Amino acid sequence: MSNPIILFLFFIVFTIFSIDSAHSSSSSACPIDLSYVETYPWNTSSCHYPNDKSCSQTLISLIGLGLSQYLKETSMFQLPNASAASSCWSEFQARLAALSISPSLVPLCFYNSTQFVANSSSCAGIFTTKDWTEKVGPESQIDIACSNLSGSLIQCGSCVDAGKKVTSQLVSLAPNNSAKCWYFSILYAAGVINDPKDANTAACILGLPLIRSRTNQSSSQLNVARGLAYLHYGLKPAIYHRDIKPTNILLDSDLNARVADFGLAKQSLEGQSHLTTRVAGTHGYLAPEYLAPEYALYGQLTEKSDVYSFGIVMLEIMSGRKVLDTSNSSSFLLITDWAWMLVKTGKVEEIFDEFIRKEGPKGIMERFVQVGILCAHVMVAFRPTIADALKMLEGDIDIPILPDRPLPLSHESFRSSLCNNVSTSEISESRSTFTT
C-alpha cells in the first residue's frame, strides 16, 4: 500500500519540478527567432570596418526587424523580462559572430539589453497593440500612409511623415520619451501594418541597408549616369548637382535609381564653362585631400566635379568599400588610391564586392571599375564627360589607358599641406529612418 503512495508522491514532485524547469527555461530563452540575422539579405559591409559609425545604425535596424516580427506575432512591443532580453542579446552577438562580425560591436551600439524590456514608462504606458489603439485610435495617419508599401519614394516619405505625426501625438502624452515613442511608431508600421521581412518595409521603415544583385548595381550606375547627363546636357542652362553620393541616389517603385536631393545644386550661366562658387559637398566626394582640386581649392565648379563624385560612387558600389578608410590597418585613405593600386598590380578581382564576385561576367565588372577610376582621377583633364562615361559603361566606346595617379592622398606630404583646407567644406550628413 505504501509503494503506490510513494510512487504517486514521486510522480507529483517530478511533475511540479518538470513544469517549473520548463517555465524557467522558457522564460530565459529568447522569444525572437533571430535566425534571420544569418539568412536575411542585409548589407554587412559597414560592420566589417571597426571605425564605421554607420554599423551601429545598421545593427539597430537589424534588431528592429526581429522586434517588429515579435510584435506581429505577440502584439507585444517589447520583451517580457530582463532574462529574455539578455538571452536575445547573447544570441544576437552569436549570430553576428557567425557572419565574422565582432560581437563587441553590440554593446557599443546599444545601451544594454534592458532597453528592450517592457516598461510602463517606455511610451505613454503602451505595452501591446491594444494599448496603442487606445492611445492613437483604430485607424491613424500611420495606418493609412504606411499600408501596402510598394517601394515608391513618395509613399515612403509619406509613411515617415505620418510616423512623425503619430509620434508627436504620443509625446504629448509622454513628454520625456520621444525617442521610445518614435521607436514604437516604427515597430508598429513595420510589424503590424506591413510584413517586417518585406524588402520595401526593411528599407523604408526600418532603414536597413540591403544587398542588391550585380544586375541591379550595374543598372543603378547607368541610371545615375543618364540622370547626370540629362542635368549637364539635357537642360539649358545646365545644372551641376554638387553632392552626388550613395545617400542621394534613391530607388523608385521599379527599383530604378534616381538622383535626389538638389539642395546644393547650381545652375550654370549660358556660355560659361564653369562657375565660381563657395565650396560645398561631402567629405570623401569633395575637398582638397579628397580630390576635385579645381573646385575645392579655387571654387571653380564644372561638370567634371559631378563626374568625379560619380566615379567615387561607382567604386563604392562595385567594391562594397567606404570612400574613406581611416583604420590604422589600411595603407590607403581614399578608395580611388586603393582601387588604382589593385588594378595596376593586376588584382582587379580583389576590388569586387564578395557578394557579386562570382556573379560575373568579369569583363563588365572590370569595365565599371576602370570607368570609376577614370571619372575620379585627380586631374580634371583626364576625367571623361558624363556622356562619354555612359558610353564607356555601355560598351559603345573603348576605355582609354588609365593614366598614372600622383602619390596616394594618405601620403604624409598631402596630409600636412592640405589639412588646413578641410574646415572650408560644408559637411552633408546622411540620416537614417530607424533610430532609438
Question: How many domains in the chain?
Answer: 2
Among residues 167, 182, 204, which one ends one of the domains?
A: 204
pLDDT of 419 above 70: no
What pLDDT, on a 0 to 100 scale, did the predictor assign at position 21?
A: 41
User: Which of 34-48, 149-163, 191-205, 247-261 has the lowest average pLDDT?
Assistant: 247-261
Are residue 173 and residue 256 in the same domain, yes or no?
Answer: no
DSSP state at residue 191: I
For residue 54, the one-letter residue type is S
Q: What is the mean pLDDT of residues 397-403?
A: 88
What pLDDT, on a 0 to 100 scale, did the predictor assign at position 96?
A: 94
Strongest mean pLDDT among 159-168, 400-409, 412-421? 159-168
Among residues 173, 204, 235, which one ends one of the domains?
A: 204
Are residue 189 and residue 223 in the same domain, yes or no?
Answer: no
What is the tens place of the pLDDT at every residue in 189-238?
Answer: 999 999 999 888 998 899 898 876 555 566 677 777 777 777 777 777 77
Are residue 278 and residue 177 in the same domain, yes or no?
Answer: no
pLDDT of 272 above 70: no
Domain-located, residue 10: no
Domain-located, residue 325: yes
**CB 379: neighbour CB atoms within 10 A?**
14
Domain-located, residue 434: no
Share of the chain above pLDDT 90, in %: 25
SS3 270: coil
pLDDT of 413 above 90: no
What pLDDT, on a 0 to 100 scale, did the predictor assign at position 155?
A: 81
What pLDDT, on a 0 to 100 scale, did the predictor assign at position 286?
A: 56
Domain-located, residue 146: yes
CA distance 417 to 415: 6
What pLDDT, on a 0 to 100 scale, did the predictor assign at position 85?
A: 92
Confirm whether 243 is a catalytic residue.
Answer: yes
Are residue 65 and residue 151 in the same domain, yes or no?
Answer: yes
Kind of pairing between the strands at 257-259 and 249-251: antiparallel
Q: What is the mean pLDDT of residues 85-97?
A: 93
Does the pTM surpass 0.75? The reply is no
Domain-located, residue 223: yes
Question: Catalytic residue among 243, 306, 325, 353, which?
Answer: 243
Domain-located, residue 429: no
Give 426's pLDDT tier (boundaries 50, 70, 90).
Answer: very low
What pLDDT, on a 0 to 100 scale, did the predictor assign at position 12?
A: 44
Are residue 247 and residue 156 in the same domain, yes or no?
Answer: no
Distances (CA, A) of 387 to 175, 237, 379: 53, 16, 18
Are residue 293 and residue 353 in the same domain, yes or no?
Answer: yes
Give 388's pLDDT tier (boundaries 50, 70, 90).
Answer: very high
Are residue 342 and residue 384 in the same domain, yes or no?
Answer: yes
Are residue 230 and residue 333 in the same domain, yes or no?
Answer: yes
Mean pLDDT of the chain: 76
Give 254's pLDDT tier (boundaries 50, 70, 90).
Answer: low
Q: What is the mean pLDDT of residues 22-29?
A: 51
CA distance 316 to 336: 9
Among residues 185, 204, 223, which one ends one of the domains?
A: 204
Question: What residues make up the domain containing 120?
Answer: 23-204
What is the tens place of the pLDDT at every residue in 156-165?
Answer: 888 989 999 9
Are residue 218 and residue 193 in the same domain, yes or no?
Answer: no
User: Which of 76-85, 110-119, 327-336, 408-417 has the lowest average pLDDT?
Assistant: 408-417
Under 8 Å between Cβ of 311 and 372: yes
Are residue 119 and residue 233 in the same domain, yes or no?
Answer: no
Report which of residues 9 and 224 the model is more confident about: 224
Domain-located, residue 183: yes
DSSP state at residue 385: P
Q: What is the mean pLDDT of residues 135-160?
A: 85
Domain-located, residue 86: yes
**CB 42: neighbour CB atoms within 10 A?**
21
Are residue 163 and residue 256 in the same domain, yes or no?
Answer: no
Domain harbouring 356, CATH code: 1.10.510.10
Are residue 144 and residue 250 in the same domain, yes or no?
Answer: no
